[in-house]
Copies of this chain bind each other. A is one copy, B any other.
């Protein structure tokens, strides 16, 4: 049997576009001799649909689209599609997340997802009823171990703690599956590839069954999908591997032998490619913009964002603007000019002095007797924000926000100022990684795309004379080590101090700053998620709250004092 694995890039909710894409791809697979074409989880809807799933009219339309697709492909092609099934019992959630097998325009089998990820960015139990059991699908003499995404993810060998009470992989193997077929919408994160590989290899080796993994590719709002579609043989060796971050159609012949496929994984290349895809898909899938716009400070974050945007959209669709204030060094404007010339993009220079002077004059009476401080610094950042949004509104530009994860973590950013934007490109990239990205961009191009001076000069917000980031933050390697451990690994003060030797008071202070700045992040633009724990929809914390790490000691002290 020849099976086509279709790594497609659907747009959430675009029933018409996704349906056409599926039909075209299925026809292409058939033309290449496929007996069966396999598409990702919820392929006609796109993942994640979120609360669109609460609209019955939308669900009906999606079901009609699936049936239309089934009627459009050659009748001798088997078609595996992800879709929805109403729960016809009188209890539970209203729908199942399902995989269908169509043949000759008719649905001849369906299976329902058992394991519903409900953590981080996933809310599947919000919408879906879990299936009680799994069932192999017999078709043309083969037993297909068809299952959906997370149904793979309870299969880790020797886990200390299993998130789920059941194991769909084991159930399918016990029923004599000849192959596993997993249809997924499994997001990208740095290092995620290895986790997937470990699980798939374990599944193959434990049961002696080959494994087909078919994943969505592309970005939908903040969630990015790398694809990573592949086939592992019964020994667990990967024998077919799709390219990452682009659409692909693989063909696997169950009767043929394949050599192992080699894929070199580069963390920095994957990060780069993911961000480029994220910008591109946000831009084209919304379809609402003419060009992308970036405020260029001369610093590394805006330079990297700009270079990624040019990679994603081409230089003709990117506009840079420098907005110097009286505190901007001449180097900042020069570095921005050099970057714009290096990238070949349109460039504006709009000094913000008139706006800052106007606000100062407007506020003279009200601010009389106060010392200049954060309020005055933020006026500068916000004057830039207003200028960028004026360009965005006037010309239909997508404003890209450039703040990195380190800044967003500790609140080193101005709400309604430099945080403005439609999408936050680097919000999940720690500052030290931004530097590595800059080096990678230059190495990849074989020339100084990002000016060397932008990479080597001390980072500064330039909101007061001679300011540098290190006036109010520890050096970025130290800050990032604390942040990575706290935000991404969820370590607490004791563990961080023990592992790093960083001063306890500093660790405590940084964690407190992360907690206190939730209010800023709540109003940040959606940002491209590239780690297992990004700020945004996968990290949900209260704004009004008084969690204080000293509370335990305080309670003990109170106990003593009250005797």
Contacts and interface: CB of A to CB of B under 8 A. Distances in A.
Nearest to A415: B389
Nearest to A414: B389
Contact of A16 (B50, B118, B375, B551): B551
Given A123-B540, A162-B90, A286-B544, A382 B386 contact: yes
B55 A490 contact: yes
A263 interface: no
B540 A50 contact: yes
Q: Which of A362, A374, A526 has the most CB atoms of chain B within a 10 A radius of its CB? A: A362
A265 interface: no
A72 B555 CA distance: 11
Given A57-B492, A91-B165, A552-B15, A355 B366 contact: no
Contacts of A123: 118, 123, 126, 540
A383 interface: yes
How many copies of this chain does the complex contain? Answer: 2
Nearest to A11: B546
Interface residues of A, number: 115
Nearest to A394: B375
A548 B61 CA distance: 10
Contact of A551 (B15, B373, B493, B555): B15
B393 A378 contact: yes
Contact of A524 (B374, B387, B523, B542): B523
Interface in A32-63: 46, 48-52, 54-58, 60-61
A363 interface: yes
A555 B350 contact: no
A52 B162 contact: no
The winner among A49, A374, A546 for most chain B CB atoms within 10 A is: A546
B370 A394 contact: yes
Interface in A61-105: 61, 64-65, 68, 71-72, 90-94
B378 A389 contact: yes
Contacts of A17: 546
Given A13-B542, A221-B542, A358-B357, A363 B390 contact: yes
Interface in A375-393: 375-376, 378-379, 382-383, 385-387, 389-391, 393
Given A362-B354, A362-B355, A382-B389, A544 B15 contact: no
A505 interface: no
A288 to B, nearest CB: 8
Contact of A164 (B61, B68, B91, B362): B91
A416 B422 contact: no
Contacts of A163: 91-93
A326 interface: no
A264 interface: no
Contacts of A91: 161-165
Contacts of A16: 548, 551, 554-555, 558
Contacts of A90: 160-162
Query: Sorted from nearest, which 9 A-B pairs have the closest CB atoms?
Result: A13-B547, A14-B546, A375-B393, A375-B394, A354-B358, A358-B358, A13-B545, A12-B545, A57-B492
Given A19-B555, A50-B541, 5 more contacts: A16-B555, A92-B164, A94-B161, A123-B540, A354-B358
